[in-house]
Chains A and B, each alone.
Chain A
């Protein structure tokens, strides 16, 4: 059974650009959630999608957005990148009946903003 797949694994952007990250959940999982991990702030919850609807949201500015498709795949977008957006972005999937419950994480997308 394939795990959670995140693409790309590494990327470099410059300030002001935008970026889109992709997450393919484990087959059968309907919930996808996103997290930002930095040395200074640790792990922070961004948002969670279930059945193509944002069900839960963390405390991040509107530059951070996401969506979920009918096959449960999810994308996360960050617009107008800032240096502080440099981080490891983790995606997790779960069956979704209860959030967060048991989460299955991908290996992350490491974003560097120059």
Chain B
């Protein structure tokens, strides 16, 4: 069973418009959740993390995500896309113990 699902493999937005990258998880418990970004030929960089504190999490570069237990979702948003946001985004879920799973990634294209 897939523990984390990124619903879109590719998202394309115009510069200055909102960004929505979707992530759903499967867990009976409240997991820890992360979003990482990977720019071309680079390693992954942490954007933000949820660890059972506030459900709305603010990250770097204007990104934020909201943990919704009822929907088992942790979608990543940004009000206004910038060209430098073009990258691959990964949702990561940590279940009980040391079980953790990477999503398959969402490639974000920003159109000038």
Contact = CB atoms under 8 A, between A and B. Distances in A.
Contact of B43 (A56, A100, A106): A106
A49 interface: no
4 nearest A-B pairs in the assembled complex, by CB-CB distance: A105-B43, A43-B102, A105-B44, A107-B43
A100 B49 CA distance: 12
Nearest to A91: B43
A42 B105 contact: yes
A103 interface: yes
B41 interface: yes
Given A44-B102, A108-B41, 5 more contacts: A42-B102, A90-B44, A100-B100, A102-B49, A103-B46
Contact of A102 (B43, B46, B103, B105): B46
A103 B44 contact: yes
26 contacts: A4-B43, A42-B102, A42-B103, A42-B105, A43-B90, A43-B102, A43-B105, A45-B100, A45-B102, A56-B98, A90-B43, A90-B44, A92-B43, A92-B44, A100-B94, A100-B98, A100-B100, A102-B34, A102-B46, A102-B49, A103-B36, A105-B45, A106-B43, A107-B41, A107-B42, A107-B43
A104 B42 CA distance: 12
Contacts of A104: 46
B77 interface: no
Interface size range of chain B in the complex: 10 to 19
Interface in A19-62: 42-45, 56
A43 B49 CA distance: 18
Contacts of A45: 100, 102
A103 B100 CA distance: 12
A102 B34 CA distance: 8
Interface in A45-103: 45, 56, 90, 92, 99-100, 102-103
A27 to B, nearest CB: 17
